Structure 1
Amino acid sequence: MMETCSSPEDKPSMFVIITSFTIPGMECIIGIIGNSFIMVTNGAEWVQNRKFSTGGRILFFLSSSRIALQSCMMMESFTSLIFPSFYKEDTIYDIFKVVFMFLTFCSLWFATWLNIFYFVKIANFNHPLFLRLKWRITELMPWLLWSSVIISFCYSVLFYQQVYYTSCNHSIPDPFSNSTKKKYIINTNVINLAIIYNVGMFIPLILFMLAAILLIISLKRHTLQMESNTTGSRNPSMEAHIRAIKSISSFLILYIFNFVALLLYMSNIFDDDSFWIVFCKIIIAAFPSGHSVLLILGNPKLRNTWGRFQHQIWSCYFSSCSWTLSGK
């Protein structure tokens, strides 16, 4: 796939610049705030107890990767819109894509391990393999997290040489003058992109879907057992199953939209000034932000801590207003 990119003189339209800065920018800011809250909350637990819980460790890794991811998205968007000639240089362009995909892969892997951890803790199976995993999940999780970082790095590095190549054509005639101007050409190897992208995204997704299916099976078995015992009310185990399935379903919906938008965005099939580029950026930025909000609302500890944090913010605000009015 070959796309003729804008020259330094042909910056994106003001509409594209404003829209790209406002909507995706606000989404990234919301995501950074939400993930910073998750990271600080779990980091404070580590400082206080001198150790991480397994769930807290995963959330710390996940929130850290998403803060870095959305910061990278904002930096890349700013550079591509304001300094297109610098952004389209071969090395700079490749570095942005490598870092972006590394953080994307890490974020997906960490979210997958979080859901697998919830599945192992909540589900009820008597299979020896599951019981062994349930017993060793705390011991295995640090190794799984760091292995995911290494795997993500290996996949993302392939984007540096195997997917993109930028060049500059200095001989494009300028219809408004007798001179020529330069156009930046991005060559995208679509086959390599599809292979690297799909392999990097599908492996954690398969694990994620397997955990979701087994969790639904566990809930079904638990429901049948409750009916056989003629118990009308839900017990804590059933409530935990339902909360986990809702969380997984919400994540899966966000992931599907993000998967399609990210593939289109990385393929360079749209012009830089296209509405679809802006739309893809909006979807991509909404994924980590939306999931962080769902994590806070779905986790009782995070939800209660966020409520206390909001109460303190409002108390400080009203105290400052009262002090100002009394001073007058």
Structure 2
Amino acid sequence: MLVLKVFICEVIGCVEVLVGLVVNTFILVTNLKDWWTSRKLKPYDQIMVNLGLSRVCLLSCFFFRITNRVFKLELYSSPAQRSVFRAAQLLFDFSSLWFAMWLCFLYFVKITIFKNHFLLRVKLRIPQLVPPAIIITYAVAFIFGFILAFFIKETADIMDNNNLPANKSVYKELSYMIPSYVFGHFLPFIFASISTSLLIHAISGHVRHVKNNVTGFTRPRLDAHLSLIRSAVLLEFMTVCNLLATFIFQFDFYGHFETNVSFLFLVSYPLFHSLAIISGNAKLKRALWGVVGCVKGKVAVERFPITQQIETKRQTTAQQK
């Protein structure tokens, strides 16, 4: 029964990783296509490109680890190899969370009307602030990912089939894990939650104001505002689930919780969070429907000759009769 449960979790995790790779590659390619056309990217799109890239790399690491575990390849058996691979995975993990936080902040700044002089100056200087923010994000992710990967000799990790011995002291590991967890996961979660809360508050206040004072506020416009609020709440819910799953996955040293389930939450977050981003982005939705239309058109063209042959055969049979 235990083997079956592990096998089901691995299959579900592999499917989530593969679909997540497709979704995040779509986000990355769509924005790079715009850059190739116009030779420039808006600040929002710059963050989106780096978010898609970091998640594609992160999901590739997950897929590599699942494959390594299922087929028992032992591709990174030495401690040095495990540390290097873990540092790369943490770099992509931390950076993807920070870029998701920057997206929340940029969206809040973009649609909110500020009266505060400082916030207004920040809004006007976003094109100059985004490149340093990207560099700082990668630097923070690399530093704390490196610390967590190389200064901890042994960790409890379901993907490495590794649980700590019952008598193993974890105080030294915690002295490195807690700062890495705070800067890699907790701080971007806090900043993203604050930005999301302020965004929901601003949209709700705007809806109440226009409903009471503007007679031309139509139902479609109200639905658009409510859809934005639902998307923000959904993104925040997924961020909370990812934070809790990461906490269990990293700090459950002795396997008290079901780590296979927490791993499924970890690999599902880059997929469903990116899908929510696509659903709330007009450019990505247009590109997605364009791809769907091309696929449908190609399928219809491929099926047309077969349909035509069947119809010709029917006509020939009818004439013979």
TM-score, normalization by structure 1: 0.80
Q: Secondary structure at the match of 2:154?
A: strand
Q: Give the 3 Å change call, closer, same or farther, for CA 220–275 of structure 1 in structure 2.
A: closer
- SS of the equivalent of 2:125 reads helix
Identify the residue that residue 4 of structure 1 maps to in structure 2.
none
Determine if the alignment matches structure 1 residue 200 to structure 2 residue 206.
no
Amino acid at match of 1:269: F
Structure 1 pair 270/324, CA: closer, same or farther in 2 (3 Å)?
farther
1:316 equivalent in structure 2: 298
Aligned partner of 1:292 in structure 2 is 274
Give a deviation string over 1:240-296, Cα, whole Å, max 9, x none.
76454333321211111111212222235355xx99232112111110100111111
Q: Secondary structure at the match of 1:318?
A: helix
**Match of residue 59, structure 1, among 45, 48, 52:** 48
1:81-107 Cα shifts (integer Å, max 9, x gaps): 433755553223322322222111100
Query: How far apart are the structure 2 equivalents of 1:152 and 1:124?
Result: 32
Counterpart position of 2:28: 39
Give the stretch that moved more between structures: 80-89 or 195-204.
80-89
Opposite residue 201 of structure 1, the aligned amino acid is H
Partners in 1 of 2:110 and 2:194 — Cα distance? 15
Residues 110, 258 of structure 1: CA spacing in aligned structure 2 closer, same or farther, 3 A cutoff? same
Instruction: Give unpaired runs (5+ residues) of structure 2.
Output: 156-160, 311-321
Identity of aligned residues (%): 24
Alignment of 1:1-328 (within 5 A): 14-15=3-4, 18-83=7-72, 87=76, 89-165=78-154, 186=164, 189-227=173-211, 229-231=213-215, 233=217, 242-267=226-251, 269=253, 276-324=258-306
Indicate if the aligned counterparts of 2:207 and 2:222 stay in contact, CA closer than 8 A: yes
Work out the CA distance in 1 between the residues paired with 2:207 and 2:304. 54
Higher helix share: 2
CA shift for structure 1 position 315: 1.6
By relative contact order (CA 8 Å, sep 6+), the higher-ranking structure is 1
RMSD: 3.0
- Larger deviation, residues 68-77 vs 16-25: 16-25
Q: Read off the aligned partner of 1:313 and give its amino acid letter.
A: V
TM-score norm. by structure 2 comes to: 0.82
**Aligned partners of 1:16 and 1:164: how far apart in 2?**
29
Instruction: Give the C-alpha shift of residue 316 in structure 1.
Output: 1.1
Distance in 2, Cα, partners of 1:164 & 1:237: 56
Query: Helix, strand or coil: the match of 1:165?
Result: coil
Aligned counterparts of 1:236 and 1:127: Cα–Cα separation in 2 = 31
In structure 1, distance between residues paired with 2:8 and 2:211: 54
Higher deviation after alignment, 155-164 or 285-294: 155-164
**5+ residue gaps, structure 1:** 1-12, 167-182
Pairs aligned (count):
299
- The one-letter amino acid paired with 1:282 is L
Distance 1:234 1:191, change over 3 A: farther
Change (3 A) 1:145 1:242: farther
Contact 1:38–1:60 at 8 Å: present in 2 too?
Answer: yes
Contact 1:122-1:240 at 8 Å conserved across structures: no
Q: Shift of the alpha carbon at 1:220?
A: 4.4
My pick for the range that moved more, 96-105 or 113-122, is 96-105
Change in Cα spacing, 1:279 to 1:224, as seen in structure 2 (3 Å) is closer
The one-letter code matched in structure 1 to 2:192 is F
Q: Report SS of the residue matched to 1:124.
A: coil
Q: Matches of 2:78 and 2:22 in 1, distance apart?
A: 32
Task: Tell me the amino acid that sits aligned with residue 110 of structure 1.
Answer: F
Specify whether residues 205 and 100 from structure 1 end up closer, same or farther in structure 2 by C-alpha distance, changes over 3 A only.
Answer: same
AA aligned to 1:160 is A
Pairwise CA distance, 1:222: 2.6
